Amino acid sequence: MSFIDRVFTFRRTKDPLNLFKNVRLFVLLRPMNKDIKNLKEKSYVKINDPSHNCKELAYYVRPGDQIKQLIDLGFKRIAVISLKGNEIKNKNRLDSPLDVWLYYFRQT
């Protein structure tokens, strides 16, 4: 999963309050998600996500595996939308997305 490095990377800032928050999250995130190296190899992972102060598990899945799960549930003609709102049609772009999350829509 290409985004894993970004999730587990310390973010520097000059704002003291944001710096404190970033240090706190970074210190919490590592011990709560000990198997960071192996996360990149899996088709999906559940991690304690920093977006909610590491208080909830987040489910991350590779786009191809997410599409397969949706097809298995009966969905057809699935559109994948990037964080910026653009449809991703290129299979290579889906195999290594740059976005931390994507949106999936059933096209009619």
How many separate domains does the chain show? Answer: 2
Please count the other Cβ atoms lying within 10 Å of the Cβ belonging to residue 80: 20
Same domain (yes/no): 11, 34: yes
Give the domain range for residue 25.
1-61
Rounded average pLDDT over 73-91: 89
User: Residue 4: its pLDDT value, please?
Assistant: 64
Side chain identity at residue 69, one-letter code: Q
Residue 1 pLDDT exceeds 60:
no
Residues 6+ positions from 69 with CB-CB distance below 8 Å: 61
Same domain (yes/no): 9, 52: yes
Answer whether 0.75 is exceeded by the pTM: no
Same domain (yes/no): 41, 74: no
- Which run of H or E residues covers position 58? strand 57-61
Q: Structure tokens of 3?
A: 């985004």
User: Residue 50: its pLDDT value, please?
Assistant: 64
Same domain (yes/no): 49, 93: no
Same domain (yes/no): 54, 67: no
Express each pLDDT in 5-38 by its tens digit: 666 676 788 888 888 887 877 777 777 666 666 6
